[in-house]
Amino acid sequence: MTIALQAKGLTKEFKGFIAVNNVDLSVKKGTIHALIGPNGAGKTTCFNLLTKFLQPTRGQITYEGRDITRMKPSEIARLGMVRSFQISAIFPDLTVLQNVRVALQRARGESYDFWRSDRVLSKFDDQAREYIAEVGLSDLTDERAASLPYGRKRALEIATTLALSPDMLLLDEPMAGMGREDVERISQLIRRIAENRTVLMVEHNLSVVAELSDHITVLARGEILAEGTYEQISKAPEVIEAYIGASHD
């Protein structure tokens, strides 16, 4: 199996504090890979390094074999590696269809003009409807984004991310703030979008991680503590200890 994203010796220091320390990570193509760990483990920092929102102090990152260590988020997006919610927030007063059309228009490098007529944008309709169907929002195509329940808004955000045609999607806590029904819905959505894409996610909800992930990397205190399937890592004494220890902090 080929590697989509790889980090070697990834390190981030904040004024002498080492938030991410010498992390080696390989995300295989076509898999769902989760980054987990107790609070303060360095997951967000690591995620921001991989998505190029932060510059590493040391280390190298490659995507599809290409060195992306010094690239900007917009440059890696063009290579096909896209962070969810990267393009924009949702426009609350536009409909679901209009939001995805705008995302498509921007992804094609056309600037977005509010005054553009529907007719000009309608060339994106078919593609937009495809993405809307992919995230399960077809019934709500003509609803205003503002009127969507929270979980559906996240689905819409994912649809606008798909407009950048990513081969790899990076999701930052996709289940944050969601009720049970939405968690189930977004889990299915992630599984569906991962059928022909690679996914790396930071996620706190361990049952979601257990259900979705092919491979899991556990971070603690900025370092890799364990790696493997959920079955493997959930039995590792050092992982159990890190989580139990963290709950007593």
Ligand X SMILES: Nc1ncnc2c1ncn2[C@@H]1O[C@H](COP(=O)(O)OP(=O)(O)OP(=O)(O)O)[C@@H](O)[C@H]1O
Residue 62 in the binding site for ligand X (CB under 6 A): no
Q: Helix 125-134 crosses helix 96-107 at what angle (to 10 degrees)?
A: 110
Q: What are phi and psi of 230, to 5 degrees?
A: -60, -45
Among 11, 22, 40, 141, binds ligand X (CB under 6 A): 40
Interface positions, 1-30, toward ligand X (CB under 6 A)? 14, 17, 19
Residue 43 in the binding site for ligand X (CB under 6 A): yes
Residue 37 in the binding site for ligand X (CB under 6 A): yes
Residue 200 in the binding site for ligand X (CB under 6 A): no
- DSSP code per residue over 149-198: -HHHHHHHHHHHHHTT--SEEEEE-TTTT--HHHHHHHHHHHHHHGGGSE
Residue 128 three-state SS: helix
Report d(CA 232, CA 204) in Å as an integer: 18
Phi-psi region of 173 (alpha: psi -120 to 50; beta: other; left: phi over 0): left
Least distance from ligand X to the Cβ atom of residue 58, Å? 16
Residue 39 in the binding site for ligand X (CB under 6 A): yes
Least distance from ligand X to the Cβ atom of residue 37, Å? 5
Residue 131 three-state SS: helix
Listed ranges 33-41, 58-66, 185-193, 209-217: which one lies at the site for ligand X (CB under 6 A)? 33-41
Listed ranges 38-46, 59-67, 100-108, 189-197: which one lies at the site for ligand X (CB under 6 A)? 38-46
Give the binding-site size for ligand X (rule: CB under 6 A): 11
Positions in the binding site for ligand X (CB under 6 A): 14, 17, 19, 37, 39-45
